[in-house]
Amino acid sequence: MSDSAKKSYRVHLIIEGNEENCFFDIVKKCGVNPNIELTYENACGSGNVASLYQNASIQEEYDCVLCIYDVDYRQNEKESPFNHIVNELTLILGNKSRVKVISFCTNPNILQLLLLGCDCYDNVKLLDGSKKENTPIIHKYWDKIGRINEGEQRKSPYYAAKEWQLDIIKNSYIYEEEPSYSYDILLANCLSVPTDYLTNHPGTNLLKLLEALKEGKITFFNSINNKLNK
């Protein structure tokens, strides 16, 4: 088979919500190698992640299926959305070791990664999972979000991951609308973020996934599948 006839490696993500959808819209446009076909499905909440993963994982059209979800500094709360997802995935996969293999998480949430394209880690650390509490730092880098005296925004001056707010963030990366931010800088700044996401400080294990998507590292995804099949 010629190189041109080879099929792309198909990576499918189950993503927790709208912020993750915004983030991976950026990733798909700015950071996916041509030999990878990236698709993703918005679970619209923690309650649907596990069932969507179970359904996707048996589909022959995907070569690797992964889950993307937030911790929100609630890793120690038995009934938190994060632990709900982990527990539901454990019922499907059999043990938490397998769950960890297919889970790519951020603490407190994926907004932390979106901010890393704007400034260095030390300047954009999110020490609270609340969208309302994080509005001032979001406003600093996207000044249209968090304004009190402009039309529609007068109704809700806080960041709430509304569609118009996420579009502002996404467009600043994809279409270089002012303010303009770089996905490559986001990846570079992500190097400073601890990979342990089960602490009370920002953390994520997403960087290796993002690098594999950008560089087309099929071995990364095959390694995940191999660990699941042990």
Which residue reads 């249209």 in tokens?
144
68 falls within a domain: yes
Question: How many Å separate Cα 109 from the centre of its chain?
Answer: 8
Both tokens of residue 79?
Answer: 């009934």
Instruction: Lowest mean pLDDT of 74-83, 152-161, 185-194, name the range.
Output: 152-161
CB contact at 8 A, 181 and 117: yes
Both tokens of residue 123?
Answer: 């300047």
128 falls within a domain: yes
27 falls within a domain: yes
What average pLDDT does this structure show over 56-68?
96
Domain housing 67: 9-228
Specify the pLDDT at position 155. Answer: 53
Among 8, 87, 104, residue whose Cα is nearest residue 50:
87
Cα Rg of the chain (Å, integer): 18
1 falls within a domain: no
Give the span between the Cα atoms of 216 and 35, in whole angstroms: 6
2 falls within a domain: no
Specify the pLDDT at position 86. Answer: 98
CB contact at 8 A, 125 and 107: no
Q: Are strands 203-204 and 36-42 parallel, antiparallel or unpaired?
A: unpaired
3 falls within a domain: no
Query: Tell me: the pLDDT tens digits for 91-102?
Result: 999 999 999 999
Query: Is this model's pTM higher than 0.75 or not?
Result: yes
**How many distinct structural domains can be found in the chain?**
1
